[in-house]
Amino acid sequence: MAFASMEPPAGDAAPPPLSSSSSSSSVIFLGTGCSGALPDTRCLITPSALPCAVCSMGVSLPPEQNPNYRCNTSLLIDYCQDDGTHEYIIIDVGKTFREQVLRWFVHHKIPWVNSIILTHDHADAVLGLDDVWMVQPKGCSNDFRRVPIFLTQFTMDSVAARFPYLLKNKLEEGDEVSQVAQLDWRIIEGDIDKPFVSSGLEFVPLPVMHGEGYVCLGFLFGRKAKIAYLSDVSRFLPETEYAISKSGAGQLDLLILETNTLYGKTLDAVKRISPKRALLIGMRHEFEHDRENQNLAEWSSRSTVSIPLLLFLSTATSSAAVSSTSGRAMSLPGCPDKCGNVSIPYPFGVGDRCAAVGLSRFFNLTCDDSRSPPVPMLGDPDAQAVVIDFSPERGELRLYAGLSYACYASSATSPSTNATFVFSLVDTPFRVSPSRNRLTVVGCSALGLVVGTANGGGDDDDLYATGCFTYCAELNGTGADGAPCAGTGCCQVPISPDIPYLGAAFRTSNWTNTAWRFNPCFYAMVAEDGWYSFRRRDLVGVLAYYNETVDAGGIPVVLDWAVRDGWCPETAEEKARRKYACVSDNSHCVNSSNGMGYTCNCSQGYEGNPYLDGGCQDINECVLREQDPKYEEMYPCRHGICINTAGSYRCKCKAGTKRDGTNFGCQQVLPMSAKVVVGLSACAILAMALSCLLVIQLQRRKHIQEKQQYFKQNGGLRLFDEMVSRQVDTVRVLTEDELKKATNNFSDDQVIGCGGHGTVYRGTLDDLREVAIKRSKAAVDGDGNVDGGCEDEFVNEIIVLSQINHRHVVRLLGCCLEVHVPMLVYEFVPNGTLFELLHGGGTARRPVSLGLRLKIAAQSADALAYLHSSASRAILHGDVKSLNILLDDGLDAKVADFGASALKSTMGEGEFIEYVQGTLGYLDPESFVSRHLTDKSDVYSFGVVLVELATRRKAVYDDDGSGQKRSLSTAFLAALRRGELWSVLDRDLVGHPDDNDKVAVAVDVVRELAELAARCLGPRGDERPAMKEVAERLEVLRRAEMQVVVAAAGAGRDSNDGEVDRWIMCGGGSVGRGHLDTTASYQSTSTETDKMPLPLSVDDLAR
């Protein structure tokens, strides 16, 4: 069986025919509104000063033509069983059930209801139970059969209190059998693991929160096509979201979801669940069908989630599909219909004769022929704007506008130059569209505002203002190009409707631009939503971005336009008196949602210009079917002849065919022998296909079950729950297929490292971000299964590690748990390891300065100190070595490979042997004996790294004299005790002792470095310094070395052919010619350490 989702009815308006023949299954939406249904009677009985446009439209058209007329949410499943018989299942029978029966059961020829499922006990789900007798099936003796009703015990108790007479097992004397529903009550469990069968179809309960403290049920059903129906949901439970996600039951074919919070939780949920198709229901009167469907179409085109259709369930066909107006007159006869490449629809026109100046003089445009191509200009001659295009169906136009700016030449509290762009739309038909535009502010340390009034005056009671603040300490501290405007470099906020006078401005009074050196100018603009994309270069230069936008023509802005002489007229006299603008037949008036006024639309089945006499013309659906295959699905006429009618079409069957049970399709009339042959052939093919599909399905189910099992074993459900409860968004749970794609199916060519805790692959995710993917062994036991007692610990560590935010620690970005061995995803660091820098192959060794070595050591120590004491919880690295210190493009250090080590501090014998193989030469002797890692274990290993930096020898190196392997730490400590430190140090660090005076100070730094390494290599952990102390000492040594460099540079200025080198030193930062390095911001709190007494000499070092 295959479920085919029917295109949504128009509001609950005239739906199209069923999308499948009578031999297939389908779903029919009996209602798509909220619990109160639409139109809302409160909006009509006691209207507000600004009438509700949606509810007003709800009574302006018949329901069958009205996309904003919606009954209570309810779904009818027409389930065709294997023998061809149909079972009709309803989910929820609410307050509008009788109206739904009269309208849709008659239209679709639904004879009865076989079973009912209830989601909860509220009125919009159960109040129609009293009318179920109308659709009860009859038995062979013409008596009514009982209708099974599936509901939870909680709902059963509530129904029993409200409808006690419906629970009678036997009718009493005087009860009319035709007026009392005969029901068979069946209790179900609201548990995902306890499905039930209704009328031959299996349903899986999906518990969700319907407000806090109240659980409502959705349902997952379908054999080949998986459909999830969630009509009342305010928050997903983790197990429910997992069950309908790709990681759970696999990708949904169709998600039907309530959307009372469209641009918040609903679209976020659609992104996370990622179905093949999503349909939205449960709309309140804030949602106007056509407008929101257009917004959703634009969102779907921008979204990275692959969703073919995201649509409000309201109309039978999308209005955009029939809006082709080629060949239709859009301007007055004898008037130009274009200016350059821009079509000009009436009431707009070039000149008084061609524009509806009687409605507003601003509909009169000027065509600027001085440009190539010519462009239409809107507004008074002294303040005109270039029109980009018109959208008469939406009552919109796009034009180019300006932007506001404020520039600072110093840290003064007022700008050196500024300008403000204002929209003055008072007494015009135009308003800035609140749904299509945003206030966008670009800059660092900028408070941008949009300020306006309803009448253009200065009355404070009429003042409107909103805004946002941006901040960035440095240019590189902003987001990358294309990053969302969330406050770093730029920010965006929506604007309110019906503000005819507004402009973008800044808070400049007593305001200091703290970033004026690299961001001298702020910019603020009201711009089309989605137009602006952040670029770092927009922050740089004086008015550089302003000049760029001026050269490009300006900022695109969307204006709503309407006839502004009141709301839609209701009587013929009022229409005549007010010069009603909707003059075409087959047109109707729509109240504006942006200020008082109205626009005109063609009726359903017509297109054109409703402002022209005879402008709305019939859509020839039959011609469209021939022109483009996509219209064949929109206007079905299977195996028939399409005949156009006014506002619609009909499907005529050819000779030898008959109707297929719908009004929009035909089927062949075959003799019995042909049917038998065809039937037997089809059965044979079907049996073979089903066998193949069964094998495929079993294999697929086995694979899915294995993934689910691994996911549960590795703590996936626990991780989902923790992520939701803690509101964690720093870790991403990826699927195995995503990682296979990123690593070319884990190709050996992608391997970038192997260690004691796993194999590391280089990969590229779908968002083009390069990552390092590690097959971690730390969270699994010998069989690849997470120890039951360690599941919570593993999940906790994953969350904690993902929230580590240190510039010198490689970040954990995500994990994959649906495989035998969990995989961890880290950021990719491109410039190799410290090991490769010190010991890399090649005939000529790369020179490594003392300053670079101290920088790498100080940064690495700072990262380890952060892990030990500054993170949200103490984290042990456990595998500190030069191979695990990565270098980025600027040769800054990033400590890596700490995640798996942090998960276990105490190891078994097998794990410990594997660990020793990966850390030979770095292992703390105390840890070797106790098999227990501590923070002082990291200190010892780091001491070996310091010795590597000082000697440029490997932790286990070949003795040139004997050819045997020697421990670097042992040899170093022995040389230090014998006073022969010079024999093991790298001579490149200090040159020759007789070079000059500056060498002595450099040697003192190296000597201090060696003594610090010796303290770290102490035999007992309590004798070693804390990592924080090591970091502070290394920073002091680094400063001392930089002072030597600065002194040497100062001494050499006079010998530079008269050229003066400018050296800059700031705080604890790096020193360089003409460059201020702001990356080093470490500051020691010990003045005693800053003095750094180094009493040693070259002779001391040589002893």
Distance (Å, whole) CA 569 – CA 609? 19
Of residues 454 and 546, the one with the higher pLDDT is 546
Give the model confidence (pLDDT) of 328-358 as tens digits: 678 888 888 899 989 999 999 998 889 999 9
774 is in an annotated binding site: yes
Q: Both 746 and 796 in a single domain?
A: yes
Give the model confidence (pLDDT) of 848-860 as tens digits: 888 999 999 999 9
Q: What is the pLDDT of residue 211?
A: 79
Distance (Å, whole) CA 336 – CA 346? 10
Domain-embedded: residue 1058:
no
Q: What is the pLDDT of residue 242?
A: 86
Using the predicted structure, report yes or no on whether residue 1095 has a pLDDT greater than 50. no
Q: What is the dihedral of CA 805, 808, 810, 812, to 10 degrees?
A: -10
Q: Both 303 and 368 in a single domain?
A: no
Confidence grade of residue 137 (pLDDT, cut at 50, 70, 90): confident
Using the predicted structure, report yes or no on whether residue 276 has a pLDDT greater than 80. yes
Q: What is the pLDDT of residue 933?
A: 81
Query: Domain range spanning residue 607?
Result: 322-395+565-618
Q: Which of 316, 350, 370 marks a domain boundary?
A: 316
Q: What is the pLDDT of residue 871?
A: 59
Q: 578 is written with which tokens?
A: 């007010």
The CATH number assigned to the domain holding 821 equals 3.30.200.20
Active centre residues (catalytic) = 879
Distance (Å, whole) CA 709 – CA 308? 31
Q: What is the pLDDT of residue 832?
A: 87
Biggest CA-to-CA distance, the chain: 122
| 3-class DSSP assignment, residue 127 | coil
* DSSP per position, 844-902: SPPP--HHHHHHHHHHHHHHHHIIIIISSS-------SGGGEEE-TT--EEE-S-HHHH
Domain total in the chain: 5
Tell me how far the alpha carbon of residue 641 is from its chain's centroid. Answer: 46
Least confident range from 31-45, 506-520, 540-554: namely 31-45
H/E stretch holding 55 reads helix 53-60
Q: What is the pLDDT of residue 559?
A: 95
Verdict on whether the full-model pTM lies above 0.85: no
Rounded mean pLDDT, 939-955: 92
- Tell me if 55 sits within 8 A of 47, measured CB to CB: no
Q: 999 burial class (0-12, 13-18, 19+ CB within 10 angstroms)?
A: middle
Confidence grade of residue 171 (pLDDT, cut at 50, 70, 90): low
Tell me the three-class secondary structure of 1010-1061, residue by residue.
HHHHHHHCCCCHHHCCCHHHHHHHHHHHHHHHHHHHHHHHHHCHHHCCCCCC
Q: Both 799 and 716 in a single domain?
A: yes
Q: What is the pLDDT of residue 872?
A: 64
Q: Both 13 and 82 in a single domain?
A: yes
Domain-embedded: residue 193:
yes
Q: What is the pLDDT of residue 792?
A: 61
Domain-embedded: residue 1083:
no
Using the predicted structure, report yes or no on whether residue 705 has a pLDDT greater than 60. yes
Kind of pairing, strands 598-602 and 417-419?
unpaired
Using the predicted structure, report yes or no on whether residue 286 has a pLDDT greater than 80. no
The CATH number assigned to the domain holding 657 equals 2.10.25.10
Backbone angles phi, psi at 740, to 5 degrees: -65, -45
Least confident range from 474-483, 669-678, 1072-1081: namely 1072-1081
Q: Both 136 and 284 in a single domain?
A: yes
Q: Both 590 and 458 in a single domain?
A: no
Confidence grade of residue 156 (pLDDT, cut at 50, 70, 90): very high
Q: 1017 is written with which tokens?
A: 């290599």
Return the DSSP state at 285.
T
Give the model confidence (pLDDT) of 749-766 as tens digits: 888 877 656 788 999 988
Of residues 141 and 1088, the one with the higher pLDDT is 141
Q: How many CB atoms lie within 10 A of CB 648?
A: 13
The CATH number assigned to the domain holding 33 equals 3.60.15.10
Least confident range from 125-129, 181-185, 685-689: namely 181-185
Distance (Å, whole) CA 563 – CA 569? 11
Using the predicted structure, report yes or no on whether residue 398 has a pLDDT greater than 70. yes
Rounded mean pLDDT, 1092-1101: 36
Q: What is the pLDDT of residue 899?
A: 47
Q: Both 303 and 412 in a single domain?
A: no
Distance (Å, whole) CA 993 – CA 996? 8
Q: 69 is written with which tokens?
A: 């007329």
Confidence grade of residue 1097 (pLDDT, cut at 50, 70, 90): very low
Domain-embedded: residue 533:
yes
Confidence grade of residue 799 (pLDDT, cut at 50, 70, 90): confident
Q: What is the pLDDT of residue 14?
A: 39
Least confident range from 389-403, 650-664, 984-998: namely 984-998
Give the model confidence (pLDDT) of 951-1004 as tens digits: 999 988 887 666 688 888 998 999 989 988 888 888 887 654 545 555 666 778
Share of the chain above pLDDT 90, in %: 27
* DSSP per position, 220-263: EE-SSS-EEEESS-SEE-HHHHHHTSTTTT---SEEEEE-SSII
Confidence grade of residue 1067 (pLDDT, cut at 50, 70, 90): very low
- Tell me if 882 sits within 8 A of 951, measured CB to CB: no
Q: Both 360 and 303 in a single domain?
A: no
Tell me the three-class secondary structure of 777-825, residue by residue.
CCCCCCCCCCCHHHHHHHHHHHHHHHCCCCCCECCEEEEECCCCCCEEE
Backbone angles phi, psi at 512, to 5 degrees: -110, 130
Q: 959 is written with which tokens?
A: 């003795």
Domain-embedded: residue 342:
yes
Q: 910 is written with which tokens?
A: 């097998």
Confidence grade of residue 1048 (pLDDT, cut at 50, 70, 90): low
Give the model confidence (pLDDT) of 504-536 as tens digits: 988 877 788 888 889 999 999 999 998 999 999
Using the predicted structure, report yes or no on whether residue 700 has a pLDDT greater than 60. yes
Rounded mean pLDDT, 894-923: 62
Using the predicted structure, report yes or no on whether residue 781 has a pLDDT greater than 60. no
- Tell me if 954 sits within 8 A of 1039, measured CB to CB: no
Q: What is the pLDDT of residue 612?
A: 92
- For 303-321, b/e burial (b = at least 16 CB within 10 A) is eeeebeebbbbbbbbbbee
Domain-embedded: residue 418:
yes
Q: Both 390 and 451 in a single domain?
A: no
Q: Both 590 and 726 in a single domain?
A: no
Distance (Å, whole) CA 207 – CA 236? 8
Q: Which of 771, 806, 828 marks a domain boundary?
A: 828
Domain-embedded: residue 881:
no
pLDDT, averaged across the chain:
79
Report which listed range, 226-230, 288-292, 722-726, is most confident. 226-230
Domain-embedded: residue 952:
no
Q: 856 is written with which tokens?
A: 């790498």
Q: What is the pLDDT of residue 782?
A: 44
Using the predicted structure, report yes or no on whether residue 569 has a pLDDT greater than 80. yes
Q: Both 59 and 155 in a single domain?
A: yes
Q: Which of 828, 855, 878 marks a domain boundary?
A: 828
Least confident range from 86-100, 419-433, 776-790: namely 776-790
* Inter-CA distances, 935 with 812, 893, 1042, Å: 21, 20, 30
Using the predicted structure, report yes or no on whether residue 168 has a pLDDT greater than 70. yes
Least confident range from 126-140, 150-164, 312-326, 1057-1071: namely 1057-1071
Q: What is the pLDDT of residue 797?
A: 67
Using the predicted structure, report yes or no on whether residue 727 has a pLDDT greater than 80. no
Closest CA to 281 of 30, 3, 73: 73
Give the model confidence (pLDDT) of 42-73 as tens digits: 777 777 656 676 776 666 666 666 777 778 88
Q: Both 770 and 729 in a single domain?
A: yes
